[in-house]
Each structure stands twice: as structure tokens, then as C-alpha cells.
């Protein structure tokens, strides 16, 4: 069963959550090496049932995209796991068949109407819907879009994918969800802080900033409209407990030190007024960040 969420307004823009899955899906102790039962007890009042399932010890993480609509343009941020894709390492994601495209249409966008796809990083659960299966071939799902990929992530995973000792990388998603887009000439590689607003003929200010740690080329996507700001953080933060404990890295963070630096930078930015738009937080999915003593607390919206 899907969890509905009203679109979030950011100035003259709206951001709609496009759900793929939302369920208890990762063992908390394995996901967070620093997992502490005392922390769970401290936050028990809000963790269950939307963020943690105490019976199974599983984190309840959402996998979703954000559809950002502004000035007649439609921008998709992160692309989930995708359908019909072999993901043997993650049983829950293997050969999925979800109505994600139907949910995207219900939010107001058919694939051909998407102007830009932005991937915060190139892990398997952020790139899947970049492509779809067509007569046995993986083809771009959004034929009229530019796909924004981090240069650092692309080059890093390209090297690993080409190496027989490590490829295929990211469960095969680099080959079926990234390379077909590049081969179709639809990829726009970005490195560092790049203003993208002008290329979309938008009045709004859309920026990507490097936030390495989870992957070498993870980016933070910043959006501003009429004085209101939002930050799409991808996996810089996976779970709301990391707001209280930004020192917690997930098992999937490649560079522990930089992941912590990038996470704190995002929290500081959001404490300064930007709405945090995560890729995996449980309901109600988006939150404000408030400073408290030397740390932070989430205020869900």
C-alpha cells in the first residue's frame, strides 16, 4: 500500500513524491554500524511505525523520486530501482514490477514530458527508472530529458565496471541504467557547483554542489524560488535518526570522513532555512531542520 503525500510547495514550484516502495527493508544493526538500542529507546515516541519496525528490527525506508514542477518544466530527482531489473544481491529489488510510471502520471508527468532527470549519485536505487525494457533492450525512459550525472561518480564507476575483477558494478545498474543514457547522447555531466537554471530557461535558481562521501561524486541539489529554498539530499542522509546523529554512516558510505562532513554541511544549510527533501526518510518524508545545542532536530512537514 502506498503512502500518499500532498505535493510540497517551494515558492512558485511544487515537489511531488513518487513512491516506488515503502516498507521495513533493512536490518538496522547491519545498516548503521553505530546503531545503539539506547538511541532507539530515546526516540521511540516517533520512530514507530513510520521509521522503524521494532518487532523485526528493520528500518522502514522509503524509495521514491521527487517530481519538481516549475514554470512549465518538469524535473525528476532520483530514479529509484526500476522494473524488470535483475538485482540478485537485493532480493526485495530483484525483478521488481511496480506502478511507478502510473504514479508519475498521476502526479502530472508522462515520461516524454520530463525535461531533466537529476541523479544525486549513481547507486542502484537512484538510477533504475532512467531506462526501461523495450524489446529486450534498455532504452531511456525519458526520451526528451537531459540526464544530469556527476562526472566523478560516472568516471569512478566506469573504471570499476570495465575491470573484470569488479564489474559489473552496482548490481549491474551501471550497464542497464547509466550506459544506455550516455550512448543515447542524453547525459549531461556536471562537476562542482554548476548553475542549471539558465539552461532550463527558469527564473528559479537550481544548483548542484559536490557532497562526496557516500559516493565519490554525490551531489546535493539546491533549489530556490521566491525566497524559499529546498535541498534534495539523496543518500547524504538515509534516515531521520541521522539528524540527531550526523556521525552515523551507513554501511554503504564509501568515504566515512567525507560522508560525515557532507552530512553536517547539509544539516547546517537546512538549519539556515532550506527544506530537507530526502530520498529515503519515512513519513511524512520531508522536514525542516532546527539547531539544538550543538546539534540538530527534525521538524516534519
- Residues 76-116: pLDDT tens digits? 999 999 999 999 999 999 999 999 999 999 999 999 999 99
The pLDDT value recorded for residue 201 is 35
The pLDDT value recorded for residue 206 is 85
The pLDDT value recorded for residue 250 is 97
Q: Decide if 3 is inside a domain.
A: no
| Structural domain total, the chain | 1
In the numeric block, the cell 535483475 is attached to: 86
Q: Decide if 166 is inside a domain.
A: yes
Smallest CA-to-CA distance from 77 within 22, 36, 130, 124 is with 130
The pLDDT value recorded for residue 200 is 38
Q: Decide if 64 is inside a domain.
A: yes
Question: CB-based contacts of 279: which residues, under 8 Å, 6+ apart?
Answer: 62, 63, 64, 78, 120, 126, 232, 233, 234, 235
Q: What is the pTM of this model?
A: 0.95
The pLDDT value recorded for residue 3 is 74
Residue 57 three-state SS: coil
Q: Which domain range does residue 96 map to?
A: 8-300
The pLDDT value recorded for residue 204 is 59
Q: Decide if 261 is inside a domain.
A: yes
CATH number for 267:
3.60.15.10
Q: Decide if 2 is inside a domain.
A: no
Q: Decide if 1 is inside a domain.
A: no
| % residues pLDDT > 90 (the chain) | 89
Cα angle: 11, vertex 12, 18; to 5 degrees: 90
The pLDDT value recorded for residue 38 is 95
Q: Decide if 58 is inside a domain.
A: yes
Q: Decide if 124 is inside a domain.
A: yes
Low-confidence ranges of the chain (pLDDT < 50): 1, 199-203
Amino acid at each position: 500500500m502506498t503512502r500518499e503525500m500532498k505535493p510540497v510547495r517551494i515558492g512558485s514550484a511544487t515537489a511531488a513524491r513518487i513512491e516506488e516502495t515503502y516498507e521495513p527493508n533493512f536490518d538496522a544493526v547491519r545498516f548503521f554500524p553505530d546503531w545503539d538500542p539506547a538511541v532507539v529507546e530515546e526516540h521511540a515516541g516517533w520512530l514507530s511505525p513510520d521509521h522503524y519496525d521494532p518487532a523485526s528490527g528493520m528500518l522502514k525506508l522509503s524509495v521514491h523520486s521527487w517530481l519538481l514542477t516549475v514554470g512549465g518544466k518538469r524535473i525528476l530527482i532520483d530514479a529509484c530501482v526500476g522494473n524488470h531489473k535483475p538485482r540478485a544481491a537485493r532480493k526485495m529489488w530483484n525483478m521488481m514490477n511496480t506502478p511507478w510510471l502510473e504514479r508519475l502520471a498521476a502526479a502530472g508527468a508522462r515520461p516524454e514530458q520530463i525535461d531533466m532527470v537529476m541523479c544525486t549519485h549513481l547507486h542502484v536505487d537512484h538510477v533504475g527508472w532512467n531506462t526501461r525494457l523495450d524489446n529486450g533492450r534498455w532504452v531511456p525512459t525519458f526520451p526528451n530529458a537531459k540526464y544530469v550525472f556527476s562526472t566523478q561518480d560516472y568516471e569512478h564507476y566506469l573504471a570499476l565496471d570495465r575491470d573484470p575483477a569488479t564489474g559489473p558494478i552496482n548490481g549491474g545498474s551501471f550497464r542497464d541504467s547509466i550506459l544506455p543514457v550516455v550512448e543515447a547522447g542524453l547525459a549531461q555531466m556536471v562537476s562542482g557547483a554548476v548553475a542549471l537554471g539558465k539552461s532550463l530557461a527558469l527564473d528559479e535558481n537550481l544548483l548542484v554542489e559536490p557532497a562526496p562521501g557516500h559516493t565519490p561524486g554525490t551531489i546535493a541539489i539546491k533549489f530556490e524560488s521566491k525566497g524559499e529554498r529546498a535541498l534534495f539530499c539523496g543518500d547524504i542522509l538515509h534516515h531521520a535518526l541521522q539528524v540527531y546523529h550526523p556521525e552515523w554512516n551507513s554501511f554503504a558510505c564509501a568515504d566515512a570522513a567525507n560522508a560525515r562532513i557532507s552530512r553536517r554541511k547539509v544539516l547546517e544549510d537546512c538549519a539556515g532555512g532550506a527544506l530537507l527533501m530526502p530520498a529515503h526518510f519515512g513519513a511524512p518524508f520531508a522536514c525542516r531542520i532546527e539547531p539544538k545545542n550543538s546539534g540538530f532536530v527534525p521538524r516534519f512537514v
